[in-house]
Amino acid sequence: MTGDGQRMRADARRNRDRIVEAARELFTQHGLSVSTNEVARHAGVGIATLLRRFPTRDELVGAAFFPKMTGYRDAMSAALADPDPWHGFCRFIETVCGMQVADLGFTEVLTRTFPTARALESQRDEVAADFGRLIGRAQAAGRLRADFAHQDLVVILMANAGVVASSGPAAEVASRRLVGYLLRSFAVDAAHAADAADADADAAAAHAELPPPPSRTAMYRAMLRLRTAPPEPDSSP
């Protein structure tokens, strides 16, 4: 019985690993619209086996992208360790947007929320807290404009996701171009350039000031709305 039990546990672990690997591969190539039926077929298991291991889609996404979220967290750690806060800020934005280009599924993961994927969301929360520190450091150094808000990161990632999704083979170049423009607009020099270029004080202020950012609640609701997908086809083989 002991031997049979061990074999069953080993089989269960192998099935789980195959499912996670299949999900990671399909989501990376095609995005999160891939059905669980397709993941099960790609893994060589039945849909019932997949659902035993991952009762919710969030849990499957969380398992597939946990390593990528670890990389996301590592990018933030590197940014905070940079002795130049502005360089660290720019490096983080560039790295994360580059991660979106390389992985269609992760592009969506960064712009949605998955409440039941607790490990994944825990890492996201850690990065969010550290991003607040990074913003504060770059602003205190006088390099990041004072009106840059925490929730602007979600706006950046959503904008970049749109570029990645729509520009096909040109995604990498287009993304870099977008990020380059955005980082220049976030710099303090860009915020004050209009004052030097325009003698009209009112016009200068209009160019220098950004519209207020969406609230954190509004951005969270947007992420929830983005994750809503149409019902999957019947799960029968």
Q: Do 132 and 76 meet the contact criterion of CB atoms below 8 Å apart? A: no
Is the pLDDT at 100 greater than 90? The verdict is: yes
Residue 231 covered by a domain: no
pLDDT at 5: 54
pLDDT digits (tens, 9 = 90+) for 17-55: 999 999 999 999 999 999 999 999 999 999 999 999 999
3-state secondary structure (DSSP) of residue 32 = coil
Q: Could you tell me which of 159, 158, 151 has the C-alpha nearest to residue 215?
A: 151
Q: Which domain holds residue 46?
A: 1-55
Same domain, 97 and 28: no
pLDDT digits (tens, 9 = 90+) for 46-87: 999 999 999 999 999 999 999 999 999 999 999 999 999 999
Residue 48 covered by a domain: yes
Rounded to 5 degrees, what are φ and ψ at 157?
Answer: -65, -35
Same domain, 27 and 76: no
What does pTM read for this prediction?
Answer: 0.77
> How high does pLDDT run on average in the chain?
84
For residues 80-114, one letter each, b for 16 or more C-beta atoms within 10 angstroms of the residue's C-beta and e for the rest, the string is: bebeebbebbbebbbbbbbbbbebbbbbbbbbbbb
Same domain, 84 and 152: yes
Same domain, 72 and 149: yes
Distance of CA 230 to the CA centre of its chain: 21
For residues 163-178, one letter each, b for 16 or more C-beta atoms within 10 angstroms of the residue's C-beta and e for the rest, the string is: bbeebeeebeebbbeb
pLDDT digits (tens, 9 = 90+) for 141-162: 999 999 999 999 999 999 999 9
pLDDT at 15: 93
